[in-house]
Amino acid sequence: MQNKLSFIGTAVVLLILLVLLTDPFMLWMPMGAQLAVLLGAAVFACVWAGFVLYERANDEREALHTMHAGRTAYLSGIAVLTLALVFQGLAHAIDPWISAALAVMVISKLAARLYSEQYR
């Protein structure tokens, strides 16, 4: 239970920091505060990645749930990045980081799939 609470707490803090970075209410954020929030977001993203990296399934049902969660997250990321690419393309101002993130997601999925099929 403690692990689940720290997992949820890390996700909530990361989401709050990401919302602060986007500055949705057009509040002026001094450079020092912005850098502190950026550092916090980077730290919590690394902690989140650590949780995801070390999660383990004990039986087939848990493995299936983990697989479905990973697939949902992957498809959601692809959908959001594709929409961002389309909207920025229509505005004639495509951010190269969106294209790079989309490419990395597709290439890493393909590489993992080919690796798993080779060593099954």
pLDDT, tens digit (0-9, with 9 covering 90-100), for 10-29: 888 878 877 777 766 666 66
pLDDT at 9 over 90: no
Residue 20: helix, strand or coil by DSSP? helix
Cβ–Cβ < 8 Å for 7, 51: yes
Residue 1 has pLDDT above 60, yes or no: no
Half-sphere exposure of 54 toward its Cβ, with a 13 Å CA cutoff?
A: 8
What pTM was computed for the model? 0.70
pLDDT per position as a tens digit, 29-76: 677 777 788 888 888 888 877 877 777 778 888 888 888 888 999 999
Which stretches within 1-120 are classed as H helix? 2-22, 31-53, 60-90, 96-118
Stronger pLDDT, 4 or 114, i.e. the higher one: 114
